[in-house]
């Protein structure tokens, strides 16, 4: 069953078209006219419209402002925000940095009702298209009766002309208790935002488990805390998410993702009802694919005893947080088509996958998931994925390039090189676990001095919507593990992309920045380089998929 993208409140008069895919999203220009906004609004299709909203006196200010790239980061950016009550004429003023706000765009309102508390959440989205590449913009978010809130963004470079940096981590949580404090929270969940922002990345990848709202008695307030925490960075640079198991808030839509999907404005995936669950965008010569692994994972990771016991109508409505297989192959088909297109593109040098649960792990927290190995790893091998960034395991670990599997029946990925500092991803895919964003489980229960031992979820025991399935776990050799850090509980990675080096190569220098609990200091603790010839994505040098 498809999942709606949040209800769209009718904001305009005489504005009733639908996209061919049934998605109701749209952007509407303010009176002043399409001609006035044309340079920024190549994607706009609607005429100016009148707006009717209730009174505006004492309107609450815009909050939780964050930006996202569209499918083409060089020309498409969306600005999103929220308000604690409906507002009149939500809109975006935007212009070239330092050149005022010459264009005005009316935002779309999307709402959802939280199944636990009954609160209605009002979100606003203003997608922009037709922007020039590698260009800085300033904007103001505004609605009637409240002062503007300012932000900035920069479009991505086009092609191989510019170096840039991006950053990544997963498993963030919030910086202070919300509600009864049932969900995770640490001061580092706040500090890491400043540490990321200090590196001035072009964009950030959030590898799932954003705020753990599904564990909270106050999920809406948890989301508010989350966006309030990240907005000081995310209103200036895209924080592009992947949905993790804790984005599954059972009762919020058929698969629990309605809050996540309503709050973000993400590139389309051509589906009806799964918009935002998986998507892709191009930045420079990198194709980034964000996917939702709950579709393929065996683990029962979305279960929440609190929601089972407190969401009204949980049993009567048949709510079920175990959503394994929910897309019925749609996501995998989309992923294969996207990977084939990226591999065949002369404009793409790097294929990066952002996802939550992992294919390999040597930490005894959750374990890696056999479902990922079955469903996704053959695609990563076939189409030459260069890099996977993930979370779910709350430590830092990275692999050698892997391709194919070792003997033994567990589909254990086979390492294809042994140099831990410089890797050629024509050999295989490098996987990174970057799960120390802020969750308060400080370290996995593994002896840091022991050699790495892989932990794999191979199935689940009996369960139901009322009773969580227990993971069936086995151990395996871990020759794929190139480096891990179990002692430093919090951290993120930065990626410095050089699209064209002397000698015809391109590189990504990866640095892991880690911090102790309670520390604001994120120090570089690990560094390695991915390097290969420009254009090599189309020509993997090792097609051998199975080894002995």
Report the interface residues with Fe ion, using CB under 5 A: 171, 209, 244-245, 392
Closer residue to Fe ion (CB): 244 or 267: 244
Closer residue to Fe ion (CB): 80 or 214: 214
Query: Are 511 and 524 spatial neighbours (Cβ–Cβ below 8 Å)?
Result: yes
State the residue for tokens 């593990």.
Answer: 481
Closer residue to Fe ion (CB): 392 or 513: 392
Q: Taking the complex as a whole, how short is the minimal distance between the CB of residue 14 and Fe ion, in angstroms?
A: 45
Closer residue to Fe ion (CB): 444 or 454: 444
For residue 54, the 8-state DSSP code is S
Query: Are 405 and 411 spatial neighbours (Cβ–Cβ below 8 Å)?
Result: yes
Beta strands at 350-354 and 286-290: parallel, antiparallel or unpaired: parallel
Pull the structure tokens for residue 536.
């090599």
Closer residue to Fe ion (CB): 143 or 255: 255
Distance CA 517, CA 506 (A): 36
Closer residue to Fe ion (CB): 395 or 532: 395
Closer residue to Fe ion (CB): 103 or 392: 392
Distance CA 241, CA 238 (A): 9
Pull the structure tokens for residue 85.
């009550």
Helix (H, G, I), strand (E, B) or coil at 377: helix
Residue 292's CB is within 10 A of a number of other CB atoms, namely 29
Q: Taking the complex as a whole, how short is the minimal distance between the CB of residue 215 and Fe ion, in angstroms?
A: 10
Closer residue to Fe ion (CB): 231 or 245: 245
Query: Are 211 and 173 spatial neighbours (Cβ–Cβ below 8 Å)?
Result: yes
Q: Taking the complex as a whole, how short is the minimal distance between the CB of residue 369 and Fe ion, in angstroms?
A: 11
For residue 256, the 8-state DSSP code is S
In sign, the C-alpha dihedral spanning 323, 334, 234, 442 is: positive
Dihedral-angle region of residue 130 (phi above 0 means left; psi in -120 to 50 means alpha; beta otherwise): left
Dihedral-angle region of residue 367 (phi above 0 means left; psi in -120 to 50 means alpha; beta otherwise): left
Helix (H, G, I), strand (E, B) or coil at 103: strand
Q: Taking the complex as a whole, how short is the minimal distance between the CB of residue 211 and Fe ion, in angstroms?
A: 11
Minimal CA–CA distance to 353: which of 389, 378, 400, 384? 389
Q: Taking the complex as a whole, how short is the minimal distance between the CB of residue 439 and Fe ion, in angstroms?
A: 5
Distance CA 92, CA 110 (A): 16
Q: Number of H helices and number of E strands within the chain?
A: 8, 29
Q: Taking the complex as a whole, how short is the minimal distance between the CB of residue 366 and Fe ion, in angstroms?
A: 7
Closer residue to Fe ion (CB): 109 or 171: 171
Residues forming beta bridges with residue 121, ordered by sequence position = 112
Q: Taking the complex as a whole, how short is the minimal distance between the CB of residue 393 and Fe ion, in angstroms?
A: 8
Q: Taking the complex as a whole, how short is the minimal distance between the CB of residue 311 and Fe ion, in angstroms?
A: 20
Q: Taking the complex as a whole, how short is the minimal distance between the CB of residue 68 and Fe ion, in angstroms?
A: 22
Distance CA 332, CA 353 (A): 13
Q: Taking the complex as a whole, how short is the minimal distance between the CB of residue 245 and Fe ion, in angstroms?
A: 4
Closer residue to Fe ion (CB): 195 or 433: 433
């Amino acid at each position: 069953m498809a999942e709606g993208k949040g209800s769209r409140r009718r904001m305009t008069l005489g504005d009733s078209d639908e996209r061919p895919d049934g998605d109701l999203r749209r952007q509407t220009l303010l009176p002043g006219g399409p001609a006035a906004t044309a340079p920024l609004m190549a994607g706009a299709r609607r005429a100016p419209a009148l707006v009717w909203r209730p009174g505006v006196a004492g309107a609450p200010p815009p909050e939780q402002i964050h930006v996202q790239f569209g499918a083409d980061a060089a020309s498409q950016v969306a600005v999103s925000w929220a308000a604690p009550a409906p507002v009149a004429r939500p809109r975006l003023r935007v212009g070239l940095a330092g050149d005022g706000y010459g264009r005005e765009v009316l935002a779309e309102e999307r709402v959802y009702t939280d199944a636990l508390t009954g609160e209605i959440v009002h979100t606003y989205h203003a997608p922009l298209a037709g922007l020039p590449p590698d260009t800085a913009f300033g904007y103001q978010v505004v609605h009637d009766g409240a002062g503007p809130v300012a932000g900035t963004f920069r479009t991505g470079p086009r092609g191989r002309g510019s170096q840039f940096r991006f950053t990544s981590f997963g498993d963030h949580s919030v910086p202070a208790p919300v509600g009864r404090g049932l969900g995770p929270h640490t001061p580092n969940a706040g500090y890491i935002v400043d540490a990321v922002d200090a590196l001035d990345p072009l964009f950030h990848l959030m590898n799932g488990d954003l705020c753990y709202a599904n564990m909270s008695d106050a999920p809406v307030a948890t989301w508010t805390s989350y966006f309030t925490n990240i907005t000081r960075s995310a209103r200036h640079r895209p924080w592009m998410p992947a949905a993790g198991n804790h984005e599954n808030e059972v009762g919020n839509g058929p698969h629990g993702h309605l809050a996540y999907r309503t709050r973000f404005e993400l590139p389309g995936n051509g589906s009806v009802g799964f918009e935002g669950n998986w998507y892709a965008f191009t930045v420079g010569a990198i194709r980034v694919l964000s996917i939702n692994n709950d579709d393929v994972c065996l683990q029962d990771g979305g279960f929440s005893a609190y929601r089972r016991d407190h969401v009204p109508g949980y049993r009567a409505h048949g709510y079920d947080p175990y959503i394994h297989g929910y897309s019925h192959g749609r996501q995998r088909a989309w992923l294969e088509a996207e990977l084939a297109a990226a591999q065949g593109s002369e404009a793409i040098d790097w294929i990066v996958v952002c996802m939550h649960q992992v294919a390999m792990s040597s930490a005894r927290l959750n374990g890696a998931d056999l479902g990922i190995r079955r469903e996704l790893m053959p695609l990563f091998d076939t189409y030459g994925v260069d890099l996977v960034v993930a979370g779910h395991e709350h430590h830092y670990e990275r692999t050698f390039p892997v391709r194919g599997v070792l003997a033994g029946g567990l589909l254990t990925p086979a390492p294809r090189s042994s140099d831990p500092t410089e890797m050629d991803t024509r050999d295989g895919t490098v996987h990174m676990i970057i799960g120390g964003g802020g969750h308060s489980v400080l370290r996995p229960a593994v002896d840091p001095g022991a050699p790495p031992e892989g932990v794999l979820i191979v199935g689940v025991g009996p369960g139901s919507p009322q009773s969580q399935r227990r993971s069936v776990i086995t151990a395996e050799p871990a020759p794929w593990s190139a480096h891990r850090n179990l002692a430093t509980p919090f951290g993120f990675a930065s990626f410095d992309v050089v699209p064209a080096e002397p000698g015809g190569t391109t590189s990504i220098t990866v640095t892991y920045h880690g911090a102790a609990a309670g520390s604001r200091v994120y120090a570089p603790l690990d560094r390695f380089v991915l390097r290969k010839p420009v254009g090599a994505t189309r020509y993997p040098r090792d097609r051998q998929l199975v080894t002995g």
